[in-house]
Structure 1
Amino acid sequence: MSSAEKKRLRDRRAQQALRDKKLRHTAKLEQQLAHCEQYHNDQKVQQRLQEIELLRRQNEALTVRHEKLRQLVRSWDVDPADSISWDSSAAAALQQAPQGIPNLHEVQENADLNGYHRQMLLASDAEPHYSTAAGSVGEPSDDINDSNADPFSPTAFLSASTLQPPLSKIPPPSLPSCIESSHAGSSLSWSVLPLNDDDFSVPRNISCPWFSHPAQIALAPDSPSSPLDILYGTRTNPLADEIHSTLRRRPLQDPEHLALGWILYHFTKWLVTPNPATFPRLPDFMKPLWEQSQIMHPMVLDFITWPRLRLKLIQQWLVYRERWDELLGMLASSVRVRWPREESILCRDPWSDEVKIRRGFYETFTRESGWGILPDFMESFPDVVAGVGGRALVYDV
């Protein structure tokens, strides 16, 4: 073989090696591009940012409670003359706190605890107060829903006077007595969120499946455009469609499906985007109680329509956790709206010809007294309903 042929052979091998190197580099770049398109698109980034924001709020809430406990323990040895300066510093911290952070009123609560912790340890009995009126819910005009209704005026922060109700009972084991205060059983401000233990980083561990897509919740309208979105699903509102799909897995009739879905939709919008416009859309009986911001619990417990039953399950969650699947399934199949089955829950707007929620039905399911439980549930779980209303909750067919 001549030297020229040897040179051509070397050149061919070098060119082939260069082509192979370029192909490998191109394949690697294509894999990286596919990975970025799958995991780094705008929707995924927004979802991760929303998850980070939810975790940040939970962390801030836990930090505030930790500091409150430390201040409370230290205050037991403080002279009465020093309590005045401590109250002033707590009030100043409340004024300087940024707006919109969960548990904002707890800073002011620290000042109240200094004057009341000795009374709390005495633990004189008092019945908690539960609000059952539905006056703060945006009601539909004539026979239409509240999708176009003006929101109510913003809910004001709790004032110092409302932070001093009567003394409460000694708390159950699930809530340490050192953080139990006279807020027991009272509703919270729009900026204070329930304390949930759902792991948002693992979608299958979230008790309410639609919360695995917080970005879609934030972009969803404040209210469904039509009750049919909740009853039959829709492609234009992912939040309403996801709630519809979840409720369809339960043996619910149309009145319960629409009523629960409507409440779940507005409660979800408030949880993800808490503000003075979303909070008044909740019925009064669905607004979180003070204990819901103090005791860690699954998010699904916040959706129980009876405040006293909701509070009992949250306080005794460790007792019912092992049989929760059975309890939840039985409760979902036993809940009823006190509405005649032969009457329609929908009507047609004579002006726009759109399907709307019937006014009478809307007024029924936005009142706590408009909900009942079948006797089968009470027979299966008598300990759950004991002391939370008893026979008043029974729905007689």
Structure 2
Amino acid sequence: MWSRLPVHTSPLCPLDQVVADLVQARRPYELSGGNIQEFQKRPFPSVQSLLNSENETETEKSPVTTLIVNKIINIMTVPTLPEQLAILWFMGSVIRWLISPTEANYNSMPEWLRPTPAQLECPHPIWMDLFLWPKAREKMCRSPEYHDKIDIMSGVSNESISINWPYQLSDMVMQVNGLGSEIVLTPAFERHMKDLKNWSVGPRMFEVFPGLADTGINIRSTGGVPGWSW
């Protein structure tokens, strides 16, 4: 199961193209062990690549994370650090497995982030693999009418996606001297973002996509922060 990859259509949007190009560029490095330094020998994805994206040393040490930050995270309209860190983590986890489909990389993803049967059976755009809620991914992959809705979906998500982090920003990251003074996510923040119940979007999601109302998406009545759009 861990080595069976999703079935993708040709890219339908810029996000699809960025991920497809990244996977195609980095997968050959698997044969030479060229991804080991970033994927196995330091925390992945690199928090430092997000916090200091202009650092050339980080670019060399973490080319995959740096590209995700520069080509995806920095293009998204996500102004708040908790959401930036959490989105980097879950996108990085999926993309790492697409590049390097090992059992360890598969198991590093929480169960809800792993591909559903429809992702493995039905051709679908890559952006759907990066949608949080598995029942929604399952339904959208099996329903072609959703496949070209990335602009609408991202617009709706842009209004309200949140991980509802209740603590201080300083409680999200810490420095680990034993790893060469790496900045990493705190265990508390990791636990919080890996619990799908902590993610939510606003009620307009079901107003625009009523067919997804039975797919387990966590709807928050009010509030939230801007999310992502393409």
Q: Same fold (TM over 0.5)?
A: yes
Cα distance change on mapping 1:305 and 1:204 into 2, 3 Å: closer
Q: Deviations over 1:227-251 (max 9, x none)?
A: 1213442422221111112122111
Cα distance change on mapping 1:385 and 1:394 into 2, 3 Å: farther
Cα distance change on mapping 1:251 and 1:293 into 2, 3 Å: same
Once structures 1 and 2 are overlaid, which stretch shifts more, 330-339 or 244-253?
330-339
Aligned residues of 1:346 and 1:357 also touching (Cα < 8 A): yes
Cα distance change on mapping 1:343 and 1:238 into 2, 3 Å: closer
Whether 1:274 aligns to 2:91 is: no
Whether 1:216 aligns to 2:40 is: no
Distance in 1 of aligned mates of 2:45 and 2:96: 14
Give the structure with higher Rg (CA): 1
Tell me which amino acid in the other structure corresponds to 1:326. Answer: I
Aligned residues of 1:349 and 1:355 also touching (Cα < 8 A): yes
Whether 1:372 aligns to 2:196 is: no
Distance in 1 of aligned mates of 2:202 and 2:167: 15
Structure 1: 5+ residue stretches without partners = 1-188
Distance in 2 of aligned mates of 1:251 and 1:265: 18
Cα distance change on mapping 1:327 and 1:257 into 2, 3 Å: same
Distance in 1 of aligned mates of 2:14 and 2:76: 19
Whether 1:327 aligns to 2:136 is: no
Q: Write out aligned runs for 1:108-257 (5 A).
A: 189-198=1-10, 207-213=16-22, 214-216=24-26, 218=29, 219-220=34-35, 221-222=38-39, 223-224=43-44, 226-233=46-53, 234-236=58-60, 237-245=62-70, 246-252=72-78, 253-257=80-84
Runs of 4+ in 1 over 4 A off after TM superposition: 203-206, 350-353
User: In structure 1, what is the equivalent of residue 135 of structure 2?
Assistant: 308
From 291, 306, 310, the counterpart of 2:118: 291
Aligned residues of 2:164 and 2:198 also touching (Cα < 8 A): yes
From 333, 354, 377, the counterpart of 2:182: 354
Q: Write out aligned runs for 1:26-105 (5 A).
A: none
- TM-score by length of structure 2 reads 0.76
Aligned residues of 2:93 and 2:108 also touching (Cα < 8 A): yes
Tell me which amino acid in the other structure corresponds to 1:361. Answer: F
Q: CA deviation at 1:198?
A: 2.5
Q: Deviations over 1:319-377 (max 9, x none)?
A: 23454312223224432112126443212336664322121111011121121112343
- TM-score by length of structure 1 reads 0.46
SS at the partner of 1:393?
coil
RMSD: 2.7
Cα distance change on mapping 1:277 and 1:321 into 2, 3 Å: closer
Tell me which amino acid in the other structure corresponds to 1:371. Answer: W
Paired-residue identity, %: 21
Cα distance change on mapping 1:383 and 1:209 into 2, 3 Å: same
Tell me which amino acid in the other structure corresponds to 1:358. Answer: T
Which of structures 1 and 2 has the larger relative contact order (alpha carbons within 8 angstroms, sep 6+)?
2
